[in-house]
Chain A
């Protein structure tokens, strides 16, 4: 205990004699740690905001989109082919295990008119399962029911933007929208969905698929099947994602009479796989940001080593005196090492304060979402202590090896 007090006294003496120099040395570490914490917080925050957009759909969903068409060797974009049909969706619902809901949908764009208001809106034809797969939440009224679907009911469930645009002053429920040549009755208003990878429903007018057929937003295949734009699938549990994907692939290849799976005319995207790849990309991005910040920590560490070497030279005589008074090599060694660690540790703590403050301010400005994790703080502080250990080791070892008589003779 007395020995520890002596050691800390010696360390404090060394640091407090050169306050400005000690502060400047710390500054390198402070900047490094601040940068590490802020950049990791930005990386983490960006990841979380992307992931939350994706996972608002639920990890147990997947989407089937049509492939490309190929005419005389010219490929068009994915999703442009008319290869997915309502009949495919029904087959999936009937044949694939562990599927909770199947939601084929198709869209067309119309000029929607209500009273003296009008707007360009997307009309989406859906089945009742749509609400389950896409996580639709109602603000008022009801979503499309099986009865509505079976009876080609002329009804519309409208998005938040559509509601405020077409009905700025009144309750949209029970009112009428003219879409092309048809009149739709508003039976429900959805809550604002915000942006997700499935797009936003805010600008949508949702109607039974059967009604969309009447509106003319529907085409048929050569066989008379009903073309759909997308089929959304919800598995009963995310653990069946692979099985469901494989079964659907097999089923659709069979239905479309395709033998070579690489020539499939559809594409299956599972939210789980999407999440995994987003996590992997943003994880690498965060790593890159952290690595850039770590370089500044490294430079700070070299600064610490530089100052410690100068400090040992300057205090050669002090080391000689201490040795004459009975200091062992280990006493001298630990004094300089603890001094280096003290500098980097305090630098680390100050850096954490600045880093957390900076990350909170950045979050407040709305420029980036930042998420501070305790692991990034622990990492930054322990790395800064490690830098003190690593870069303080050589100067401290140098100091301890000085011969006492030579050290005493130094002016």
Chain B
């Protein structure tokens, strides 16, 4: 049974890739529930499977076996166009490498976030950049911005469509400590003000300890959970 206020329900999720003749098993039976409005950190060493799990949760990838319920809908077997619709409407991604389009301005990057989620609204895009403190940087291209500023553009690109779920893959991994702190405080305030569900994959224990729950992954399995 799916608990009614669950955002994410993973049931015995496995994921394996063909590597030549062998199967490389990355996830070996993940069971996890995340409630709406929760703030969860996922920790684990490189190669532990945490990014693969995040990709499945973010509908960028499908599990090999097991069931994934997003809110109350099973999405593990949906068509790629249906997964794309969920990504567009309900999920905001923050990547370690920002993933902005370098040839267009900050404002255009934020508008790009709206293109596949109902349409461009310039006023809302400018507002979103204002919320992350970049109202003076609208027409700068990513390469003219610092790492912290680029990550804030990426956050603005996600919040502009007001998604139910934020997925952050090492959001501060490439930032110095002060820009990392800025990005973290924006993400935390987003959670506090909007009640957005937030999942942060991180190496950084100080980042993880600002969340409500920490899930430890090793070799494709959840080995421990801490409630903070």
Contacts and interface: CB of A to CB of B under 8 A. Distances in A.
Contact of A321 (B58, B88, B101, B120): B101
Contact of B89 (A2, A324, A326): A326
A148 interface: no
A326 B85 contact: yes
Contacts of B131: none
B120 A329 contact: no
Given A324-B60, A405-B60, A331 B101 contact: no
Given A326-B117, A327-B116, A404-B60, A13 B104 contact: yes
A19 interface: no
A404 B80 CA distance: 10
Interface string A1-45: 011011001100100010000000000000000000000000000
B68 interface: no
Nearest to B104: A13
B146 interface: no
A330 B88 contact: no
Contact of A326 (B61, B88, B100): B88
A154 interface: no
A327 B89 CA distance: 11
Nearest to A315: B101
B207 interface: no
Contact of B87 (A9, A13, A326): A326
A122 B24 CA distance: 100
Sort chain A's interface into a size bin: 20 to 34
Contacts of B104: 13
B113 interface: yes
B81 interface: yes
A238 interface: no
Contacts of A323: 60, 84, 87
A322 B116 contact: yes
Contacts of B12: none
Contacts of A403: 61
Please classify the interface of chain A as helix (H, G, I), strand (E, B), loop, or mixed, using the class held by over half of its residues.
helix
A17 B84 contact: no
Given A328-B84, A328-B85, A2 B120 contact: yes
Contact of A329 (B84, B95, B119): B84
Interface string B95-120: 10001110110000000110111111
Interface in A395-411: 403-405, 408
A322 B112 CA distance: 8
Contacts of B166: none
Contacts of B55: 405
Interface string A305-329: 0000000000001101111111111
Given A13-B104, A17-B103, A330-B81, A325 B116 contact: yes
Contacts of B70: none
B178 to A, nearest CB: 27
B84 A2 contact: no
Nearest to B97: A408
A326 B81 contact: no
A323 B99 CA distance: 12
Contacts of B58: 324
Contacts of B100: 321
A322 B111 CA distance: 12
Contact of B119 (A3, A321, A404): A3
Contacts of A320: 99
Given A405-B60, A408-B95, A10 B81 contact: no
A327 B87 CA distance: 8
Contacts of B112: 321-322, 325
Interchain residue pairs A-B with the least CB separation, the first 8:
A326-B88, A2-B119, A326-B116, A6-B115, A328-B84, A328-B81, A326-B87, A404-B60
Interface of B: 55, 58, 60-61, 80-81, 84-85, 87-89, 93, 95, 99-101, 103-104, 112-113, 115-120, 157
26 contacts: A3-B115, A3-B119, A5-B120, A6-B119, A6-B120, A322-B116, A323-B87, A324-B58, A324-B60, A324-B93, A325-B112, A325-B113, A325-B115, A325-B117, A326-B85, A326-B87, A326-B117, A327-B84, A327-B115, A327-B116, A328-B80, A328-B85, A328-B116, A329-B84, A405-B60, A408-B60
Interface of A: 2-3, 5-6, 9-10, 13, 17, 317-318, 320-331, 403-405, 408
